[in-house]
Amino acid sequence: MKMRGARILLESLRCEGVKHVFGYPGGAVLHIYDELVKHAEELGITHYLVRHEQASLFGAAGYAQATGKTGVALVTSGPGGTNAVTGIANAFMDSLPMVVFTGQVPTHLIGNDAFQEADLTGITRSCTKHNYLVKHVEDLAPTIKEAFHVASTGRPGPVLVDLPKDMTAQEIEFSYPETIDIRSYKPQVYGDPKAVRKAVGAMLQAERPVLYIGGGAHAAGAYEEVKQLAEKLNLPTTCTLMGLGAFPASHPLSLGMLGMHGGYWTNMAVNNSDLLISIGARFDDRVTGKLSEFASGAKFIHVDIDASCISKNVPCDYPVVGDAKIVVQQMLKELEEQLAGGEKVASKVSWHDQIAAWKKQHPLWWKEEGDVIKPQYVIEELHRITKGQAVVSSDVGQHQMWTAQLYGFDTPRNWLNSGGLGAMGYGFPAAVGAAVARPNDLCVAVVGDGGFQMVLNELATVKQYNIPVKILLINNGFLGMVRQWQEQFYEHRYSHSNIEVQPDFVKLADSYGVAAFRATKMNEVSHTLEKALNTPGPVLIEMKVAREENVFPIVPAGAALKDMILS
């Protein structure tokens, strides 16, 4: 049967198992939306109308982070596509599988500066894993098949498919490819056996090792494997911001998060290690601090599916290119063989004792101040009430770091945030995507008053579809992390970080028909949280917290981990 391109797009999504699409209509994609309203039920696809195109990308990103499945976003041409660029860049930085469909002017108008024309393939070339401009309708289905394959394999990432309006109008017979074979794209998933053997030998001999887990462990689903590796070799284990939850925070070997806002004991362990074993992490600047002084006495094992990441920031002694899950499986098998051959695991008793002493010397702490709500207490109570099992997303800033430090993620894919790009406004729409993907789980968006005001119009989205996201608003009346840096490094010059005008957030939520609660004193926090989290549907929970509370520890920009400021 002949179908117009718009229907072919939707049938292709059905073939890929897509159930949810986040989008915003416009002229260039009207054929698609017309087919969607006519065939949505038989296709089994639910579309969620966001209130800004950026939220469609953040929603798809939250969906991808919470499930590992490919998120899908649909926006129109011109400003629709350019509004989506931040979300595309976010997915690229955090290696999230996503396929983004953008409308485009008809092919005969491309290059003519037509109404709502933008060179979206050119604009997004540097922040997509790959992108396509469909110029022939017969290429549409194969292109979509290829886009989903590229987005979800190897190092995941966003793929953009730009659709001229005439490509969605023309009719051809629909045929979807069953398989895909891209000759120039063959991700390496198995580690080189010799490299694996050398890496395992180094692990056996190390006396002060640290296992360092990144977001790549989530992408590969390597949770059980890294846990076994840590337990078999008695490895102290730390996670990056994006890796939290890949190794249980409550495990005796867990060191928590490392880096700029990592624990003192964690950073000291990394700094004094003799072997750093990196699984699916990329040694970014928020982890390493001053590169020349980062774990300067250590050798480095680096497992990554993206060969370009290895030795990019830190020279690697034992590189292994491959999928994290498969490579660690290889390591476990090699470890058994070497132990059976008479090799011994070096004792680490004194190393664990030293780390415990560092933790006792400088634990994470905060100070009560009468009735003033401390944000750290809010996060601790959130963990207690939810038993650490909520899906938690965040914006970027102080509240993000307090949540990363204190919530204690034991379950994979329960921590969603914009790690690489650091995009404010991510937390709320990402939680929307997670709640759509995982309707039986409690989804909480921990947001700041700055980031929330960038996306608060999405209250309409959660109300329209009754998406039960709980929005935990940590309101200090500042752009908190900016203010902290201005206090610590710019002599208290609070230049444009004081949010002097705010809405009444409770009344605002009420105007959208969303239930809302507020706490202004410490003794109100627990009751307010419990009542709000048990209220059906979407809920806003405002916590009026201490205005000038700071996140500690902090490693100043450009400083070494050992130079962290503790209080």
pLDDT of residue 449: 97
Reference 66, options 431, 317, 455, 522; nearest CA is 431
Backbone angles phi, psi at 158, to 5 degrees: -80, 140
Name the phi and psi angles at 320, rounded to 5. Answer: -135, 110
Let me know if 174 is a catalytic residue.
Answer: no
Here the tokens at position 305 are 């599916």
Q: Which helix (H) or strand (E) holds 471?
A: strand 470-475
Helical spans, DSSP H, in 316-348: 324-340
Domains of the chain are 2-173 (3.40.50.970), 193-361 (3.40.50.1220), 375-557 (3.40.50.970)
pLDDT of residue 1: 81
Dist. CA 452–CA 39, nearest whole Å:
35
DSSP characters over 86-126: HHHHHHHHTT--EEEEEEE--GGGTTTT-TT---HHHHTGG
Q: What is the pLDDT of residue 268?
A: 98
* Model confidence pTM above 0.85: yes
Q: What is the 3-state secondary structure (H, E, C) of 169-205?
A: HCEEECCCCCCCCCCCCCCCCCCCHHHHHHHHHHHHH
Is 207 noted as a catalytic residue in this protein?
Answer: no
H or E element that contains 213: strand 209-213
Residue with tokens 């495990």: 251
Task: Please give the helix or strand (H or E) that residue 270 lies within, else none.
Answer: helix 264-271
548 is catalytic: no
257 annotated active-site:
no
Mean pLDDT of the chain: 97
Question: Quick one: how many helices (H) and strands (E) in the chain?
Answer: 23, 20
Q: Examine the residue annotation and report whether 300 is marked as an active-site residue of this protein.
A: no
Distance CA 33, CA 35 (A): 5
Separation between Cα atoms, residue 243 and residue 284, nearest integer Å = 13
Contact 286, 401 (CB under 8 A): no
Q: Kindly name the residue from 2, 38, 115, 333 that is annotated as catalytic.
A: 115
Which one of the listed residues 19, 116, 380, 562 is annotated catalytic?
Answer: 116
The pLDDT of residue 196 is 98
Distance, in Å, from the CA atom of 428 to the CA atom of 230, rounded to the nearest integer, reads 34
From 93, 98, 242, 481, the catalytic residue = 481
Catalytic residue among 165, 227, 299, 325: 165
Tokens of 396: 């970027």
Residues of the chain with pLDDT under 50: none
Q: Which of 11, 16, 35, 53 is catalytic?
A: 53
- Asked whether 75 and 53 are in contact (CB, 8 A), the reply is yes
In sequence order, the 6+-apart residues with CB closer than 8 A to the CB of 139 are: none
Residue 436 burial (C-beta neighbours within 10 Å; 0-12, 13-18, 19+): buried
CB 128 within 8 A of CB 161: no
H, E, C per residue of 31-78: HHHHHHHHHHHHHCCEEEECCCHHHHHHHHHHHHHHHCCCEEEEECCC
Distance CA 200, CA 224 (A): 18
Tokens 């101040």 belong to which residue?
A: 369
DSSP secondary structure letters along 392-403: EEE-SSHHHHHH
